[in-house]
Amino acid sequence: MAVGLFAAAAGAGTMKAGKTYGTSLYMSKKFPAFHGKIHSANPFCIANRPVRVFRERPGKDKLLGSDRSEDNGRWSVKVNLISGAYYSRAPLYGSASLGITCNADRSRLAVVD
């Protein structure tokens, strides 16, 4: 019983400590391939956010490159295009000292023939 009360109290304290914000990651396959923009209700979740571009393949997908978003959320990764399916990811991001957590997101698949 005492363990259950401690866990509930600890969980309640953690939930009040910060706020979580959604992230929307968009990617275009137009020149320069690939580029896009991050959207979020909190500017902290937009600026200087890591973005990685992958090519789908059987087994583990291949990381092709990465970038950090600009203050306005724009990012780009130059990739030599070959036929395949590509996507980008913005990983979970945040600041414990600010009490901000930014959710991870994955872009839609971009197919190149």
- Residue 11 confidence (pLDDT) above 70: no
> Under a CB-based contact definition with an 8 Å cutoff, are residues 39 and 76 in contact?
no
- Model pLDDT, residue 59: 93
Is 13 within the bounds of a domain? no
Alpha carbon distance 30, 34 (integer Å):
7
Q: 52 is in which domain, residue-wise? A: 18-112
Q: Give 71-97 pLDDT, tens digit per residue.
A: 999 999 988 888 899 999 999 999 999
In a domain? residue 5: no
Q: What is the CATH number of the domain that holds 106?
A: 2.60.40
Domain count, the chain: 1
State the chain's mean pLDDT as an integer: 85
Q: What CA dihedral angle connects 38, 42, 44 and 48, to 10 degrees?
A: 10
Q: CA-CA distance, 112 to 65, in Å (whole number)?
A: 17
Residue 105 lies in a domain: yes
State the pTM of this model: 0.79
Q: For 12-71, what is each residue's pLDDT tens digit?
A: 333 345 899 999 999 987 766 789 999 999 999 999 999 999 999 999 999 999 999 999
Q: Show Cβ contacts of residue 46 under 8 Å, excluding neighbours closer than 6 positions.
A: 38, 39, 40, 69, 71, 72, 73
In a domain, 7, yes or no: no
